[in-house]
Structure 1
Amino acid sequence: MKIKFKKNQSSDAIMLRSFLILITTIIISFSIITVVAVGHQLLETSRMNSTNIIKSLERTVIDGDHDWKQWRFNSTLNTSTSYVHVRNLRHHAKIKNYYSPETKRLLEIKPQKIFLIHGLYYRSKIGFLLYKTGKAKGIYYSLWIKLNSQFEILERVIIITAIILVLTLLTLPLYIRIVAQRLTGPLSQLTKSTETISLKKTQTTDKLPVPSSPTEVSQLATSFNRLLTNLYDKTEKEKVFVSNAAHELRTPIATIQSHVQLIQRHGTKHPEIINDSLSYIHQESNQMAKLIEELLTLSKVDKINLALKKYDLSMSLGKLTKELTLILPQKIAAQIPSGIFITAHQKSIEQILIILLNNASKYSPQNSKIELSLAKKSNLVIIEVADTGKGIANQDKKHIFERFYRANDIRGTISGTGLGLAIARQLAFLNQADLNVRDNIPQGTIFSLMFKNIN
């Protein structure tokens, strides 16, 4: 049965493994290069020495014992590490071979040549030898130089590099772990805090701790806190939305139920109340149907992606104005120049304007005038709907695009669900347009729909 060991994939473990591999590779590579360079330099120095010795022998004609002894006396050659063999092949030479001390013993066993390195040999019980030859006036010279001292130097270099490697491998993990903890410690703390918050069964406004360093983790924590705040705000808005929807639905349902009970109890004895109750039931059911329809519309615009196409906005607004003039009690004063095109979703833009014009009509006197204007300024196209109604208080302006929001002074007095402007704002966003509100001086409100994507 095979046992598989899973590697630790934490940041500090990955960093430790990566740095250990990197540093070990660098040190081993550097050590090999150093050893080769030092070895090559020592070998070249020995070759230069052997060349000088051979040249010295070639300048000396060793043609007899006297010459050999004279050269030995004047030579500074270290006979404990160097071996010289002179072969005199002249016809008149009485002695053909001369050997420095221990040379004969050396040559009793033929040294073995080292592959790929010129002039390097190995002799058991002696070690590595550098071999050099020369010739002058019928006399042949052979020189063997022991490289024990050079190899001792090389051995020291290898030992030192090995010690450095071992010390590095022993101390590096501790150092890397300390650095990794400094880098990943805040991230680990961030993970633990995130896990703690995620395990809570109830939603809270808890925030993640923001470390001062490293910068990336600090930015990540800040971004997470911003995300948590947005999620919390969104959830709160959804709770308010559900609560408002339930309240808006509960009111017409309660009215319908009360009138049904009224008919059941007193309808037989007082048939005159039936028509009034049915009228109330019809009115409240229509309000509830309208609310449900707007809720469905709102849920759709939250999810859809609109296909934006270039179309004639002037023609579309002109047609829409004619249709609404027949429905709305107020007069619509339209200023729509021809030939203005935008890139947008025509049906949704018309829906926005229907919402704005209906709102203007709802909150304005029936004998007043609603102004609809279209203008092109530089690279902007602006549609404005202006009324002369009561206007919107400053404290309410920042809330009017929220779902179900209705100002206190109109709630219960003017029919509505508080969803129209929320739908209009979302549709404007999907069309890459801005929907804003401002006061109409001296009285009333102006809604502006601004397009930048006009080509």
Structure 2
Amino acid sequence: MSHNSLKYQFKKQLIISVGLLVLIFSFLLYQILFIGIGASMHRGMMSMTDHYAQQLEADPSFPLPHNDDFSIYVGRETLPAEIEQMFDIDTLPPFSFSVHDDSKLSELFRPQKITFLETRPLKNNKGILYLVYHDRDPQRAPPPRHGKIPSHLFLQDHPPQHAEKVLPPGPPPKTPLINVPNSIIFIILLATLLVYWIVQRLITSVLNPLNELALMAKSLDENNPELSFSVMQNKTEIGAVAKTLHQTMQRIHQYHQREKQFLQNASHELRTPIAVISSALDIIDLRASQGNHDIADQHINIRRANKNMTEMTSALLLLSDKNRSIRSLDTIDLKQLSTSIIEEHKYLLKDKRVFIDLIGADNETHELPGTLCRIVLSNLIRNAFEQTLSGGVSVDISGRKVLVTNTSSAIYNNEEGEIELEKNYDKGFGIGLDIVKKIVEQQQWQLHFFADVKKGWQVVINFENKTLSDKQ
């Protein structure tokens, strides 16, 4: 696993953060525990000093206890030298509580010896009472709790009338395995295991799907967009991202396919006028070498091919700049424009028995992008002329709607008229149909194809912007 991976960084940061928190809170709990022990000892030793102070004030000859656990001294001069070395007696105020640890209370292991000192002044200036408690052996009984005096002291000062039988000494009690240092170690280990378990679950639910998503992004193939991946079935946001990425790749594939088809059609469509120009130039050269200067017909062919290429390149430029095409509005007479286009393309009907019918009101103008309208109508009329073997071609203009109808024996045996119509149209159109569709989509015009066995092919183009029509 790389040190730069998200999985490694996630593990490291989470373990460090939680580990530090566990250590800090464990140390605080450790300190709070000893503070509580000290407070409890202070209350217990205060109760003991009050008891013995009352006894001494009532009877100065009252016997004071001296044993391994604790001792009571009256007056500074009675204190052992060891106690004076442990505590700065001269600086201790009355009713003070002090603790001396041979090591430190915050060490990881239990101190070998702890000495507690409680001071209390006696009444009538009889000196100061010192209570010293030694905690040497962990197997001994704990110090008094909640202000109670150890039972053996009361037994020494006030022997019971019926003393119970003392049990013979047995094996010393075992030291408990769970103490403060061991508890801290146990908590740290438990927290580490818990953090590791949480990290593993997070990796399983988050980081592993992210890795699968990265592999999916690397494996996506534009030529094979239908390829499916398991991460797409993930129920979290990662699955949604995977599905979106897959859908985006499908759209890219469709876009590339359309662009590929568009370029193929463009290449095919440009090849024809280029061939016409090349052929016309060869004929001109041949006639010139023979002394024949009649080349007017070849000039017409060259100009016609040049005009077709000019229209096509203009359409491509306009389609690449939507705002430019919207701003370039002209006053257009659709009937007059159709008449001009029909005259330009009559050469396609040469040697064909085809009649032309143009229907529409005269002098009816509209504000439309002139170049785009001319490109659309030129392609529709030219294709109608090319596809019509015999019969007629009708151009019916009504307002902004133009209906182009042509008859041809090519569709008489076609049982899937509308579907095959567009396929055949595409074959005859080349890039023309693609350009028309793109222009119509950009300008939000309306284009429909119909096939009828009796009437032939019908194409309806409505130059009315459908968005504006819906708003009105």
TM-score normalised by length of structure 2? 0.63
SS in 1 for 2:7: helix
Identify which of 166, 182, 185 aligns with 1:162. Answer: 185
Which residue does the alignment assign to 2:130? Answer: 142
Residue 119 in structure 1 maps to residue 97 in structure 2: yes
Alpha-carbon contact 1:352-1:427 (below 8 Å) kept: no
CA distance in 2, matches of 1:243, 1:178: 53
CA distance in 2, matches of 1:273, 1:307: 41
Which residue does the alignment assign to 1:84? Answer: 72
Residue 18 in structure 1 maps to residue 50 in structure 2: no
SS in 1 for 2:32: helix
Q: How does 1:205-220 map to 2 (within 5 A)?
A: 205=225, 207=227, 209-211=229-231, 212-213=233-234, 215-220=236-241
SS in 1 for 2:74: strand
Which residue does the alignment assign to 1:418? Answer: 433
Residue 395 in structure 1 maps to residue 424 in structure 2: no
CA distance in 2, matches of 1:10, 1:260: 67
How much has 1:269 moved relative to structure 2? 5.4
Residue 445 in structure 1 maps to residue 469 in structure 2: no
How much has 1:426 moved relative to structure 2? 5.3
CA distance in 2, matches of 1:16, 1:446: 64
Give the direction of change, closer, same or farther, for the CA distance of 1:361–1:258 in structure 2 (3 Å limit).
Answer: closer
Alpha-carbon contact 2:334-2:364 (below 8 Å) kept: no
Percent same amino acid among aligned pairs? 14
Residue 227 in structure 1 maps to residue 242 in structure 2: no
Alpha-carbon contact 2:284-2:295 (below 8 Å) kept: yes
How much has 1:240 moved relative to structure 2? 1.2
Which residue does the alignment assign to 2:162? Answer: none
CA distance in 2, matches of 1:159, 1:133: 37
Identify which of 299, 308, 315 aligns with 1:278. Answer: 299
Which residue does the alignment assign to 1:109? Answer: 85
Which residue does the alignment assign to 1:176? Answer: 199
How much has 1:205 moved relative to structure 2? 4.1
For residues 378-397 of structure 1, the C-alpha deviation after alignment (integer angstroms, 9 at most, x for no partner) is xxxxxxx3234339x64379
SS in 2 for 1:80: coil
Residue 246 in structure 1 maps to residue 275 in structure 2: no
Which residue does the alignment assign to 1:370? Answer: 397
Q: Which consecutive residues of structure 2, in runs of 5 or more, have no partner in the other structure?
A: 103-111, 144-174, 340-358, 386-391, 407-416
How much has 1:244 moved relative to structure 2? 0.7
Identify which of 314, 328, 331 aligns with 2:360. Answer: 331
Give the direction of change, closer, same or farther, for the CA distance of 1:353–1:280 in structure 2 (3 Å limit).
Answer: closer
> Which has the greater radius of gyration?
2
SS in 2 for 1:223: helix
Which residue does the alignment assign to 2:353? Answer: none
Identify which of 394, 416, 424 aligns with 1:408. Answer: 424
For residues 191-233 of structure 1, the C-alpha deviation after alignment (integer angstroms, 9 at most, x for no partner) is 34544557xxx95447362324362332232222222222222
For 2:419, give the aligned amino acid: Q
CA distance in 1, matches of 2:28, 2:363: 88
For residues 158-191 of structure 1, the C-alpha deviation after alignment (integer angstroms, 9 at most, x for no partner) is 3321243245447755763564255323332443
CA distance in 1, matches of 2:99, 2:431: 107
CA distance in 2, matches of 1:56, 1:141: 11
Q: Which consecutive residues of structure 1, in runs of 5 or more, have no partner in the other structure?
A: 1-6, 73-77, 88-95, 310-315, 338-345, 373-384, 398-405, 429-433
For residues 17-68 of structure 1, the C-alpha deviation after alignment (integer angstroms, 9 at most, x for no partner) is 12112211221122023112211211111111011112212322356664x2
Identify which of 273, 294, 299 aligns with 2:315. Answer: 294
Give the direction of change, closer, same or farther, for the CA distance of 1:368–1:264 in structure 2 (3 Å limit).
Answer: closer
Alpha-carbon contact 2:226-2:250 (below 8 Å) kept: no
Give the direction of change, closer, same or farther, for the CA distance of 1:260–1:48 in structure 2 (3 Å limit).
Answer: same
CA distance in 2, matches of 1:286, 1:61: 131
For residues 308-349 of structure 1, the C-alpha deviation after alignment (integer angstroms, 9 at most, x for no partner) is 99xxxxxx99x725x555544453589999xxxxxxxx98x6
Give the direction of change, closer, same or farther, for the CA distance of 1:437–1:135 in structure 2 (3 Å limit).
Answer: farther
Which residue does the alignment assign to 1:320? Answer: 331
Alpha-carbon contact 1:24-1:169 (below 8 Å) kept: yes
Identify which of 125, 129, 133 aligns with 2:116. Answer: 129
How much has 1:293 moved relative to structure 2? 2.2
Give the direction of change, closer, same or farther, for the CA distance of 1:61–1:26 in structure 2 (3 Å limit).
Answer: same
Give the direction of change, closer, same or farther, for the CA distance of 1:11–1:112 in structure 2 (3 Å limit).
Answer: farther
CA distance in 2, matches of 1:265, 1:388: 44
Alpha-carbon contact 2:379-2:432 (below 8 Å) kept: no
Aligned residues: 379
How much has 1:352 moved relative to structure 2? 5.7
SS in 2 for 1:143: strand
For residues 360-419 of structure 1, the C-alpha deviation after alignment (integer angstroms, 9 at most, x for no partner) is 8776999865233xxxxxxxxxxxx3234339x64379xxxxxxxx7525865x898335
How much has 1:258 moved relative to structure 2? 2.6
CA distance in 2, matches of 1:218, 1:327: 55
CA distance in 1, matches of 2:403, 2:236: 54
SS in 1 for 2:432: coil
Deviates more, 1:277-286 or 1:325-334: 325-334
Larger fraction in helix? 2
TM-score normalised by length of structure 1? 0.65
For 1:41, give the aligned amino acid: G
